Chains A and B, each alone.
Chain A
Amino acid sequence: MSTNDTIKYIESQPDYEGKQDFTITVYAEDRVGLLNRISIIFSKRKINIDSLNTSPSEIAGIHRFTILINESYEVVRKLARQIEKQVEVLKVYFNTDSEIIWQELALYKVSTEEITEKVTVERLLRQYGATAVVIRKDYTVFSVTGHKEETDALVKALEPYELIEFVRSARVAIIKDSAGFHEKLKEFEAEEPGEERVENEFLDKGDKIFTM
């Protein structure tokens, strides 16, 4: 992102104190132990991680962590800086829900007998856009992709009909404004630091808040 998240954040939502969902995106080297180094930054402050996903990124050898937490802007900013400070972390972004496209995947195991017998169940599954992954005589596994509220709603709806098992994946998110990481990586690999390497949300917001 060439323009900074923070600037937009300041313009759109001046609330620094109130808690809300933030999605933290971390680009890092793919190294053993890094997950621990990142997760203790949260646990040290007794902050719970709502969901955490690790995945490859568009660049071979670079890992992408997607971390969802419910905290205030001030806290998230400090956390992001502590994460970015780790030697093997390349870059950290944090965004509110309006700045990202995100999905979660949920799996539901339901008794096959229930489904075949009760028309409501079938209608429910249709309504939530569930697709059958496995159909066996004793049970069927459905999957739903969507936001937490949607997958949660189906859990509630299925409760009366023998929901045998439920699991939901961590959030994965794409940042709306992101142009990917290829260009940024070139800057990081250059020995002489370029502008990107001095990018810093504090410094970049400096002229916005400087008042004298």
Chain B
Amino acid sequence: METLQDTATKKATTNSPTFKGSGSQMLLNALIEEGVSTIFGYPGGAIMPIYDALYDYADKLEHILVRHEQGGIHAAQGYARTSGKVGVAFATSGPGATNLVTGLADAQIDSTPLVCITGQVFAHLLGTDAFQETDVINITTPVTKWNYQITDAKEIPEVLAKAFYIAKSGRPGPVLIDITKNAQLQIEEFEAYVKCNHIRSYRPKPKVRVEFIEQAAKLINEAKKPFVLFGQGVILGNAEKEFKAFIEKTGIPAAWTIMGEGAVPTDHPLNVGMLGMHGNYGPNVLTNECDVLIAIGMRFDDRVTGRLDKYAKQAKVVHLDIDPAEIDKNVKAEVGVWGDCKETLPILTNLVKENKHEAWVAQFRDYNQQEIDQVITPELYPTGEEMTMGEVLRNINEICGGDAVIVTDVGQHQMVACRYAKFNNTRSNVTSGGLGTMGFGLPAAIGAKYGAPDKTVIAIIGDGGFQMTPQELGTIMQFGAAVKILILNNRFLGMVRQWQQLFHDKRYSFVNITSPDFVALAKAYYIEADKVDERANLRKALETMINHEGSYLLEVMVGRENNVFPMVPQGMSVSEIRLK
């Protein structure tokens, strides 16, 4: 038997020359080879050799000095989400590395491609409780797609090539590479850098098996009330066009998870809206009426399904996913199509018959009309004195026309933004979906702007979430990221308050949160800012913010005790969705 370790990673050849230098330099060369141009990071003792090398790479690698490593990794996430590239974050050992954990968990559950580099103490000190030593590999194992500790510089090129390949291929995810200080300093003669395109133990993209697509097509062709649910898989697979072609040919109404929002433009006639707890009325109710449920690149999160034993029991489920572990995980599939939807969707589209499903689509329209009358109109065009989050979103839609990148934090404003923001383009909705990370919004918006420099980037954040990572105003100040920060202030931790009102007899336990003078805070960071507390000034203030060159903070005072509806209460079926 040949030594299999040698053949574990096969490589394609490129033309970069042999290089003699330190492990740190090799690391930075590898990043350049992988097309990295922007790094979000924070230096410290154990990563100093890398930062020393970075000093000479300033013309090739832009390093954004964040104010906290959590901000760094969220920025890298925002960057990855809008650009479609791998986000890169640097942090030192110990606390630097542990501060990455929330972002790793967020990226893991939302399938965001990241490569994080952490410094580590000298290899000979490992396990001695050295200064700023922490077992980052074991701490991050559950929240990374892959992680690896490098103790010898010779490993750097191969491990980095694997890291980028693993992060972005198949179902993407975060990778963490921990590099001991001696490896960063070690001088070596490195061979030409070769990108990785195969790892024998890793199957990112299965060969498509047409027989299962044929079975799916048969179900779809015989369906009277087919319903498509789509998630971020469509965006991650760059399959927006293929997806649109599929629904347009079959005439099947399609609803999105918040991670899939924007894969199809908001005003597409077959886009019937949002799924889940605060999703639209029709998609939730009709989930329990459809006869064939076609799930594409989504994973049946509990916030989408509500009570599972009453979820789409009447329907035959077709599930297209790149990750076989998702098929049958929460909802049993009649037909599972394991594969990259970029490949499977065109085959499926080819096999399905043209259709219109007019009566069925009209059912969605009927429910939508009820929702418009009872929920949407009062939210978007309120008659009371207090401003609503919905009317703020309506104004943004009118000003930006659906072309802005909307980054949200977590809570009521997030649900309102996802429900009402208009999107013409894919990769425009950046939100923390699976993990629900408060504090995500501001740093993610910084990264989103670097990932989409030509777009207007609006960070919509609640008064609670903003106070979790406000330090990143410093990053905006220093690097001039033109992020529009919109704080929707209801002087409550609104989503928790809503639950306490509805399910805990209005016992408001520690949801009453006070805020600093956000305008003064922004100004302290030399960021232009304004505050609006009456409707008459709202439109103009929003226009000023959006048209302002550079960053801007606008605080809007909204009604204190507004609730987000519709709502599927936890533990209830999607068909038991409440309009009030």
Interface set, chain A 16-47, CB cutoff 8 A to B: 28-29, 32-33, 36-37, 40, 44
Residues of chain A within 8 A of B335, CB atoms compared: 206, 210
Specify which of A85, A191, A203 is in contact with B209 (CB 8 Å cutoff): A203
Could you list some 24 contacts between A and B, CB below 8 A? A28-B201, A33-B137, A33-B149, A40-B141, A59-B1, A59-B4, A60-B1, A60-B4, A62-B4, A82-B325, A85-B323, A87-B146, A87-B199, A87-B202, A191-B197, A193-B206, A200-B338, A202-B324, A203-B209, A203-B212, A203-B336, A206-B211, A212-B215, A212-B218
Q: What is the CB-to-nearest-CB distance from A56 to chain B, in angstroms, rounded to a whole number?
A: 12
Instruction: Knowing A185-B200, A200-B338, A212-B218 are in contact, say whether A85-B166 is a contact too (CB < 8 A).
Output: no
List B contacts of A59 (CB < 8 A). 1, 4
Distance (Å) between the CB of B158 and the closest chain A CB? 13
- In the bound complex, how far is the Cα of B198 from the Cα of A78, in angstroms? 26
* B200 lies within 8 A of A188 (CB): yes
Query: In the bound complex, do residue A206 and residue B200 qualify as a contact, i.e. CB atoms below 8 Å apart?
Result: no
Cα(A85)–Cα(B108), bound, Å: 13
Interfacial chain A residues near B146, Cβ < 8 Å:
87-88
Contact between A85 and B325, CB atoms less than 8 A apart = yes
Asked whether, in the complex, the Cβ of B202 is within 8 Å of the Cβ of A198, the reply is: no
Query: Which residues of chain A (151-193) have a CB below 8 Å from chain B?
Result: 185, 188-189, 191, 193
Residues of chain B contacted by A148 (CB below 8 angstroms): none
Besides A33-B149, A85-B323, A206-B211, 20 other A-B contacts (C-beta < 8 A): A29-B201, A40-B141, A44-B142, A59-B4, A81-B324, A84-B325, A85-B325, A87-B145, A87-B201, A87-B202, A189-B7, A189-B10, A193-B205, A193-B207, A202-B324, A203-B336, A206-B335, A206-B336, A209-B334, A212-B222
A211 to B219, CA, bound (A): 10
Check B141 against A33 for contact (C-beta < 8 Å).
Answer: yes
- B-contact bits for A61-93, CB 8 A (1 contact / 0 none): 110000000000000011001101101111000
Selected from B137, B219, B333, the residue in CB contact (under 8 A) with A212 is B219
A200 with B206: in contact, given A37-B141, A61-B4 (CB under 8 Å)? yes
CB-contact partner of B201 in A78, A82, A88, under 8 A: A88
Size category of the A interface is 35 or more
A60 to B3: give the CA distance in the assembly, Å: 7
Given A28-B201, A60-B4, A188-B200, check contact A202 B327 (CB 8 Å): yes
Scan B349-371; emit 1 where CB is below 8 A from any A CB, else 0: 00000000000000000000000
> Which chain A residues lie closer than 8 Å to B328 at the CB level?
77-78, 202
Distance from B180 Cβ to chain A, minimum over Cβ atoms (Å): 14
